[in-house]
């Protein structure tokens, strides 16, 4: 990771959960980390706790489902920090609904963040990465639900949005052939965050009884992928807790 010290990394959805842990790890490795989220005050709290770290966390308010918000955030990064070396597309949402009774508004909200928001951030980051013409990396934090759809009531279009992320990663690899930009995905199973607790069918007690990963496990996978030599592309990492059966 030494070669990344001082470089700029962007982490979407950095206010809580997996994104917050990834941002912390990168700051501790000496990177200038831009944390993007709507709840920017939560990133500010994390930044204050990391003041003695080798790197620095820069909180930037951004709603990745809005193109103008994404463009404004990446313009700020370019003007204040310089070229981006790493993009971690971590932000993701789910709406408890169904395919048979759901609304277009709820379905669209999931795709606006999980798919189109990812595309917007990738587009803006790649523009800067191409200009700098140096080693760079893009990591999509995906989900095992994109490959093995679990029977979770209310999951609706969420697994489809995550299957789209896998296809987008491969398409991006084709488009970036001949560059030094690596494209990787990390797909965890159930992670012990508040993400699933928003579903009415899961109580906190039920989730605690299920095999699960910790957010720091996903952050460790990010560090591993980034620590490989520039000529090595760890295209896909799947993380599953022992005992997870679906």
CA distances from 200 to 159, 193, 204 (A): 18, 15, 10
- Dihedrals φ, ψ of 170, to 5°? -70, -40
Q: Which of 4, 21, 107, 158 is catalytic?
A: 158
Q: What is the DSSP letter of 144?
A: G
Any catalytic annotation for residue 224?
no
Beta bridge partners of 187: 238
The pairing of beta strand 56-61 with beta strand 84-89? unpaired
Question: What is the spatial distance between Cα 51 and Cα 220, in angstroms, rounded to a whole number?
Answer: 21
Cβ-contact 162, 145 below 8 angstroms: yes
Q: Which residues are catalytic?
A: 158
């Amino acid at each position: 990771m030494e070669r990344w010290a001082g470089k700029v990394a962007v982490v979407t959805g950095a206010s809580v959960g997996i994104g917050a842990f990834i941002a912390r790890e990168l700051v501790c490795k000496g990177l200038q980390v831009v944390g993007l989220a709507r709840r920017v005050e939560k990133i500010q709290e994390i930044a204050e706790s990391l003041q003695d770290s080798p790197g620095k966390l820069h909180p930037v308010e951004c709603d990745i489902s809005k193109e103008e918000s994404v463009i404004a955030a990446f313009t700020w990064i370019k003007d204040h920090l310089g070229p981006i070396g790493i993009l971690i597309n971590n932000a993701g949402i789910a709406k408890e609904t169904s395919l048979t009774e759901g609304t277009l508004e709820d379905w669209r909200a999931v795709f606006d963040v999980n798919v189109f928001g990812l595309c917007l951030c990738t587009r803006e980051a790649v523009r800067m990465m191409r200009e700098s013409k140096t080693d760079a990396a893009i990591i999509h934090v995906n989900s095992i639900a994109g490959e093995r759809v679990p029977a979770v009531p209310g999951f609706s279009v969420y697994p489809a949005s995550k299957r789209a992320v896998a296809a987008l990663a491969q398409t991006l690899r084709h488009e970036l052939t001949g560059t030094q930009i690596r494209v990787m995905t990390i797909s965890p199973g159930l992670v012990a965050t508040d993400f699933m607790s928003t579903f009415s069918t899961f109580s906190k007690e039920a989730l605690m009884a299920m095999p699960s990963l910790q957010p720091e496990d996903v952050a460790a996978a990010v560090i591993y992928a980034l620590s490989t030599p520039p000529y090595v592309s760890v295209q896909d990492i799947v993380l599953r807790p022992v005992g997870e059966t679906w």
